[in-house]
Chain A
Amino acid sequence: DAEITQSPRHKITETGRQVTLACHQTWNHNNMFWYRQDLGHGLRLIHYSYGVQDTNKGEVSDGYSVSRSNTEDLPLTLESAASSQTSVYFCASGGQGGTGELFFGEGSRLTVL
């Protein structure tokens, strides 16, 4: 069965370190998204991609970067982790074309100390 997976599921790091969260989908979706979820804010879009070599900034992109070298993967990198980036991160794919359904990964809980 097709799926979308995130890793790691839990990560504790220190301020200033570089962190990469992986997202891998086997739906063959062109569209992929990274969100963060914090209490009182709901889901906020960090970056998104509509296809290979395409990346776009979302509403809260500062301090984050993504790359899309193939259809399946959209890794999210925190160049220099800050305590404000402690959050739960969700990757999603789909949302356009076909059924238009969105598929979410199980989330990655990041703590920056």
Chain B
Amino acid sequence: KNEVEQSPQNLTAQEGEFITINCSYSVGISALHWLQQHPGGGIVSLFMLSSGKKKHGRLIATINIQEKHSSLHITASHPRDSAVYICAVRANSNYQLIWGAGTKLIIKP
């Protein structure tokens, strides 16, 4: 079992829909990262969380440390949001990043 699990693996939605991507982990962590990768493109850091909630534009990230779970939400989704979204956690044990496999999101116009 992977230490970081993302769900769903693939998600296709219509423009305007509210999107939720989930990340569950099994290790103690000091921080969790959400990143975005466009097809053929580079990787961009969206959020780093250690508790609570952060918001940037239409993106919202939440984390529940007790439940070892984080969610990334996209409101009023747009085709330009189509990308792979990756969750990564920084383990307390060795400060290394453990990566999720990513969620491929496609937003149809």
Question: Which residues of A are at the interface with B, using a C-beta cutoff of 8 A?
Answer: 33, 42-45, 90, 92, 95-96, 99-107
Contact = CB atoms under 8 A, between A and B. Distances in A.
Contacts of B86: 42-43
B45 A103 contact: yes
B90 A95 contact: yes
B99 A101 contact: no
A109 B50 CA distance: 33
A26 B90 CA distance: 23
Contact of A106 (B35, B42, B99): B42
Contacts of A96: 90, 95
Given A42-B86, A43-B86, A95-B90, A104 B99 contact: no
With a 10 A CB-CB cut-off, give which of A43, A44, A105 has the most chain B CB atoms.
A43
B45 A105 contact: no
Q: How large is the interface on B (under 10, 10 to 19, 20 to 34, 35 or more residues)?
A: 20 to 34
Nearest to A88: B40
Contact of A107 (B33, B42, B101): B42
B99 A42 contact: yes
A92 B50 CA distance: 20
Nearest to B50: A100
Interface in B64-82: none
